[in-house]
Amino acid sequence: MNSEIATPEWDAIVVGGSAAGLSAALMLGRARRRVLVLDAGSPRNRFAEHMHGVLGNEGTPPSELVRKGRDEAAQYGVRFAEGRADSVEELPRGLRVVDEAGAAHDARSLVVATGIDDELPEIPGLAERWGESVLHCPYCHGWEVADGRLGVLATSPAALHQASMVRQWSERVVLFSAALGDLDPAFEARLRSRGVEIVPDPVEALLGEDRALRAVRVAGGREIEVDAVFTAGVPRPHDGFLERLGLDRAELPFGMGSFLGVDPMGRTSHARVWAAGNVVNPMANVPMVIGAGASAGAAANGFLVEEDFDLAQEAGRG
Stretch that binds ligand FAD, among 150-158, 195-203, 260-268, 277-285 (CB under 6 A): 277-285
Q: For ligand FAD, which is the closer residue by CB, 278 or 301?
A: 278
Residue 158: its H or E element: helix 158-166
Position 167 contacts ligand FAD (CB under 6 A): no
> How far is residue 135's CA from residue 47's CA, in Å, rounded to a whole number?
10
Position 235 contacts ligand FAD (CB under 6 A): no
211 touches 133 (CB < 8 A): yes
Q: Least distance to ligand FAD from the beta carbon of 103, Å?
A: 12
The b/e string for 164-191 (b: 16+ C-beta within 10 A; e otherwise) is bbbbebbebbbbbbeebeebeeeebeeb
> How far is residue 251's CA from residue 64's CA, in Å, rounded to a whole number?
34
Q: Least distance to ligand FAD from the beta carbon of 185, Å?
A: 33
Stretch that binds ligand FAD, among 38-46, 160-168, 253-261, 307-315 (CB under 6 A): 38-46
Q: Please work out the total of residues on this chain that contact ligand FAD, with binding judged by CB under 6 A.
A: 39
Q: Least distance to ligand FAD from the beta carbon of 292, Å?
A: 8
Q: Give the residue nearest to ligand FAD (CB).
A: 277
Q: For ligand FAD, which is the closer residue by CB, 11 or 39?
A: 39
Compute how many other C-beta atoms are within 10 angstroms of the C-beta atom of residue 109: 28
Choose which of 7, 42, 75, 168 interacts with ligand FAD (CB under 6 A): 42
Position 113 contacts ligand FAD (CB under 6 A): yes
Position 138 contacts ligand FAD (CB under 6 A): no
33 touches 11 (CB < 8 A): yes
Q: Which of 115, 44, 39, 113 is nearest to 82 (CA)?
A: 39
Position 129 contacts ligand FAD (CB under 6 A): no
> How far is residue 199's CA from residue 218's CA, in Å, rounded to a whole number?
9
Stretch that binds ligand FAD, among 196-204, 258-266, 281-289, 310-318 (CB under 6 A): 281-289
Residues in the chain: 318
Position 19 contacts ligand FAD (CB under 6 A): yes
Position 16 contacts ligand FAD (CB under 6 A): yes
Look up residue 184 and give its amino acid. Answer: D
Residue 176: its H or E element: strand 173-176
Q: For ligand FAD, which is the closer residue by CB, 176 or 259?
A: 259
Q: Which of 54, 165, 35 is nearest to 107 (CA)?
A: 35
Q: How far from 5 is each of 92, 277, 310, CA to CA, in Å?
A: 7, 32, 15
Which residues form the interface with ligand FAD (CB under 6 A)?
15-21, 38-45, 47-48, 51-54, 84-85, 113-115, 118, 130-131, 136, 140, 238, 241, 277-278, 284-286, 289
